[in-house]
Amino acid sequence: MKRVFHPAVVTTIVVTGILLLPFLMPDKTVPQWSDSQLRHAALSRNMLPVPKDYDALLRVVDTAENPMSREKIALGKALFFDTRLSRDQTLNCASCHILEEGGDDNRPTAIGFHGRENPFHLNSPTVLNAALEKSQFWNGRVKDVEAQAGGPVQAPFEMNMTPAEVEKRLNADKPLVAEFKEIFGTQWITFENVRKAIGAYERTLLTRGAYDRYLEGDDKAISAAAKRGMTLFIVKGCKGCHTGMSVGGQRIEKFPLRYYFMDYIGITLDPNVKIKKSPFPFENKGGFRGRNGTLKFKVPMLRNITKTSPYFHNGAVEKLEEAVRIMSKYQIGDEFSPEQIDDVVAFLKTLEGELVVY
């Protein structure tokens, strides 16, 4: 049977091909670097190890707006696990940010007060290493962990409180009031200082692992496959967005960056044109379209990425291998082979880490 192409389809194919030409990237030969060359390539591109001790930590994450102290950190830790910050006193920050399981809740969508789901089907980003990011939330709408700490407390589908209710509840605890007075110099507990205390604690939630040891000179810290994956990560352009000590979280970028005609138009014997409904290469469950609906999202961190499945803003992708394939195709424009995907996943596994006890 002869295949019939609708004239509109043929025209669209030609136009789409022309429009995509500027975005086609030349093939980049993957070099075989020595350990010293690979390490230099990473460090020179701001892929840095997490600090080992408290003084080094302060140089990286301390802030003039919320100076850190051991007392403030201890107070923030207590509040992070305090269920009084939720309306029915059953939830705390750790309910959605489980420190032992990657700093998130491993759910496609966050579940809060009385089992309510996030209305946009957004999942909980990890709190681990979040202080290293330049913005918070999937659309990057706030700049730091202090501002982020107040969001879930007030969201009706999360902890469902108001600042006034938090203040009233905590100010009934006289020893806690005295602790806040000692640390902040105030007569009463304010919601702003609650956020600052939690933020100070979250600034200590950094992790170190094999990746950090490799960057510091231990050639045996990661496998040969991981080194190949790290090389791919650098030369293919992944590090362009997933950069910094956090390996991400530094930029707001459009996703997907590239579109493929065959994803959106089904060419069959039926001349009718079939339009793909989702703007993403997966189901658009929840309808969230990033910052101001522009498909711009905060670039996720990749530290501990192996522990934070499912992936993407609405948890639409379960397997890390599929997430890597999608990113290589739709962001880089150079879909990785199965072997390359395995190597990149081997590298991503080196980003697993344990909390540093500062």
Q: Read off the pLDDT of each residue in 186-200 and give the average, rounded to a whole number.
A: 98
For 111-128, the pLDDT digits (tens) are 999 999 999 999 999 999
Tokens of 145: 């962990």
Whether the ω angle into residue 31 lies within 30 degrees of 0, i.e. cis, is no
Residue of 71, 100, 117, 158 marked active site: 158
| pLDDT value at residue 261 | 80
How distant, in Å, are the alpha carbons of 8, 20, 23 from that of 14? 10, 10, 15
| Residue 312 · residue 146 · CB < 8 Å | no
pLDDT at 336 over 90: yes
Whether residue 158 lies in the annotated active site: yes
In this prediction, residue 87 carries a pLDDT of 97
Q: How many residues does the chain have?
A: 358
Please state the rounded mean pLDDT for residues 271-282.
73
Superfamily of segment(s) 25-50+207-355: Cytochrome c-like domain (1.10.760.10)
Tens digit of each residue's pLDDT (9 = 90 or more) over 10-24: 444 444 444 444 444
Confidence of residue 309 (pLDDT cuts 50, 70, 90): very high
pLDDT of residue 258: 94
Cβ–Cβ under 8 Å, residues 198 and 74: no
What mean pLDDT value characterizes the chain?
91
Q: Which residue has the higher pLDDT, 131 or 277?
A: 131
Q: What is the spatial distance between Cα 316 and Cα 332, in angstroms, rounded to a whole number?
A: 20
Res 240 pLDDT > 80: yes
Instruction: Assign domain 54-202 one CATH number from 1.10.357.10, 1.10.760.10, 2.10.109.10, 1.10.3720.10.
Output: 1.10.760.10
At 328 the pLDDT is: 97
Quick one: pLDDT at residue 11?
A: 42
Q: Find all residues with CB under 8 Å of 85, minimum gap 6, and list them.
A: 79, 91, 92, 93, 153, 159, 161, 166, 194
- Which H or E element spans position 183? helix 174-184
Q: For the residues 187-202, what does the mean pLDDT come to?
A: 98
| Measured distance CA(23)–CA(74) in Å, rounded | 50
How far, in Å, CA of 66 to CA of 73, rounded? Answer: 11
Residue 256, preceding peptide bond in cis (omega within 30° of 0): yes
pLDDT band for position 29 (50/70/90)?
Answer: confident
Q: Which of 346, 31, 56 is nearest to 214 (CA)?
A: 346
**25-50+207-355 and 54-202 agree in CATH topology:** yes
pLDDT tens figures, 144-162: 999 999 999 999 999 999 9
Residue boundaries of the structural domains of the chain: 25-50+207-355, 54-202
H or E segment to which residue 296 belongs = strand 296-298
**Is the pLDDT higher at 43 or at 276?**
43
The predicted model scores a pTM of 0.89
Return the percentage of the chain with pLDDT > 90, whole number: 86
Q: Alpha-carbon distance 317 to 281, whole Å? A: 10
